[in-house]
Structure 1
């Protein structure tokens, strides 16, 4: 399967509709059980929301690019790129707990999305400047 790229230039209110469209396109070429489908929906929601709100600063003249491709029939590759300046986010299993403790103590309303993405995906990688994140996720639970 070739990679398919969507350009999202709508505001955050249109996000759920766009994610449903992306998932329908994915399901046209691969059966996905309900649990994995839910996880993909969460991952896409977190990544696209971050790109729209943090990367593009909710500026409607900027776009987000979402690309997906099936890899070896059992994995999906998804990348989300915004037009922002990027950021650095480094994580390892030890620092996740420390990071979440800090966010919880400070009662932050944000900061958990990427930790959730890391926990739901098999691989997560940012480009050098931090305005593009790519994930690899297994599509069957076994």
Structure 2
């Protein structure tokens, strides 16, 4: 089992942090999903929780084992208020500047929950098939 906590100030290093996590889980098929979920979650934490202030920390904690990965993304905001994640994105909202991040996370995660100013995302992992097996 692997546990880690990373503290980000702004989004300058978020791609490197995500790449590091993806490298740790390279033997699983969910790398794309995890990359997209983390990009959306960290962007939301920075924009909405921290109000784009680079002096406020974003905590990214995760626990990785052979079956799943669980993320906690904690911003410095006041918490989630009346979050309603849509079940679909309609054509008239498709090109809006915001509103799709949590929807995408919900679609890709196996479990998503909110606790104060912490977004908790869980994803079950599937080992990649060995090319020799095909």
Which structure's residues are more often helix, by fraction?
1
Query: Root-mean-square deviation (CA), in Å?
Result: 2.2
Question: Which residue pairs with 2:120 in the alignment?
Answer: 134
CA deviation digits over 1:39-87, x for unaligned, max 9?
100001000111111110111110111111125x211111100011122
Q: Is the 8 A contact 2:27 2:127 kept in 1?
A: no
Question: Any stretches of 5+ residues in structure 2 without a counterpart?
Answer: 129-134
Which structure's residues are more often strand, by fraction?
2
* 2:40 paired with 1:46: yes
Residue among 77, 80, 86 paired with 2:73: 80
C-alpha distance in structure 1 between counterparts of 2:72 and 2:53, whole Å: 20
Q: 4+ residue runs of structure 1 moved beyond 3 angstroms?
A: none
Could you say if the C-alpha distance between residues 54 and 102 of structure 1 is closer, same or farther in structure 2, counting changes exceeding 3 Å?
farther
Alignment of 1:11-90 (within 5 A): 11-24=10-23, 26-27=24-25, 31-33=27-29, 36-71=30-65, 73-88=66-81, 89-90=83-84
- What is the TM-score when the length of structure 2 is the normalising length? 0.83
* 2:120 paired with 1:121: no
Question: Any stretches of 5+ residues in structure 1 without a counterpart?
Answer: none
Could you say if the C-alpha distance between residues 56 and 114 of structure 1 is closer, same or farther in structure 2, counting changes exceeding 3 Å?
same
